[in-house]
């Protein structure tokens, strides 16, 4: 099998498990594999497609309500942010893209590891929630990273586990559907990507369902340490591969 296909399959399997377990993170995990060898625009389209597929699977296997009052500001902000992310995508530099993903993982994941010790933020109300959603929308347009900032923000807000899962799961599903439609309409998704899309679905299917099973029985502390620890290592590896060349 071609090395590209192997990287795509392994990335989809790892990302599917993490998304099934945590309700987010497909794009980040997949990019930690794909950004090494896959063109940024193709990798972004694949990440959005895989994340959307995973969210659809999770919606039927891990249901945590709708939490409409919490969700609406995130949705409104996200819908405003997606077009900006889609517009920025064609202008990405591959090395900068890898550095961005690596920095995001290396900075954000350790913050999340210690988020339980950070005081709850109550200021800003729905406007602040909408801003977090807008940032998630921009990042979704750049490659399916819709859940990064909203998840961190929900944690800082002090939402309990099931409310946070409901907000992030429904927000991600909505944003990824809009992002995927935008990719198709703007020509980001091309026919040469379809064979890779066809690989992603079977590769991630079982790991995603396994992740949702584990989520039901695992404690918050354990899955946070394992998942975010692995993501931090992935970010450091991406930074190590891109920063020396950027600085040179």
* Closest alpha carbon to 8 in 28, 37, 45: 37
* Closest alpha carbon to 76 in 123, 159, 134, 24: 134
Residues in CB range of 147: below 8 A, 6 or more apart: 23, 24, 25, 136, 168, 171, 172
Residues spanned by the domain of 182: 3-247
| Residue 8: predicted pLDDT | 92
Burial 148-169 (b: 16+ CB within 10 A, else e): bbbbbbbbbbebeeebbbbbbb
Q: pLDDT category, 24, cuts 50, 70, 90?
A: confident
**Angstrom distance (rounded) from CA 156 to CA 146:** 17
Average per-residue pLDDT for the chain: 83
Q: Domain tally for the chain?
A: 1
Mean pLDDT value of segment 24-47: 84
Task: Render pLDDT for 144-172 as a digit per residue (tens, 0 to 9).
Answer: 778 878 888 887 887 877 788 788 888 98
Task: Render pLDDT for 103-139 as a digit per residue (tens, 0 to 9).
Answer: 888 887 787 777 666 677 888 888 999 999 999 888 8
Residue pointed to by tokens 């039927």: 60
């Amino acid at each position: 099998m071609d090395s590209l296909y192997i990287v795509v399959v392994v990335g989809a399997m790892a990302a599917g498990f993490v998304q099934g377990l945590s309700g987010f993170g497909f794009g980040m995990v997949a990019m930690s594999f794909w950004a090494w060898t896959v063109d940024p625009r193709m990798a972004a389209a694949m990440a959005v497609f895989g994340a959307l597929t995973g969210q659809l699977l999770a919606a039927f296997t891990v249901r945590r309500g709708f939490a409409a009052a919490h969700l609406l500001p995130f949705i409104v902000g996200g819908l405003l942010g997606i077009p900006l992310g889609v517009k920025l995508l064609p202008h990405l530099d591959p090395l900068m893209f890898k550095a961005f993903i690596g920095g995001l993982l290396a900075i954000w994941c350790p913050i999340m590891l210690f988020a339980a010790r950070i005081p709850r933020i109550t200021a800003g109300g729905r406007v602040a929630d909408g801003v977090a959603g807008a940032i998630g929308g921009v990042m979704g347009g750049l490659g399916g990273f819709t859940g990064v900032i909203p998840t961190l923000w929900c944690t800082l807000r002090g939402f309990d586990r099931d409310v946070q899962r409901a907000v992030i799961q429904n927000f991600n599903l909505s944003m990824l559907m809009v992002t995927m439609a935008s990719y198709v309409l703007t020509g980001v998704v091309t026919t040469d990507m379809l064979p890779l899309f066809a690989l992603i679905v079977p590769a991630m299917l079982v790991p995603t369902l396994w992740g949702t099973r584990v989520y039901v029985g695992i404690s918050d502390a354990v899955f946070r340490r394992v998942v975010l620890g692995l993501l931090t290592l992935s970010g450091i590896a991406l930074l190590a591969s891109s920063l020396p060349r950027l600085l040179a």
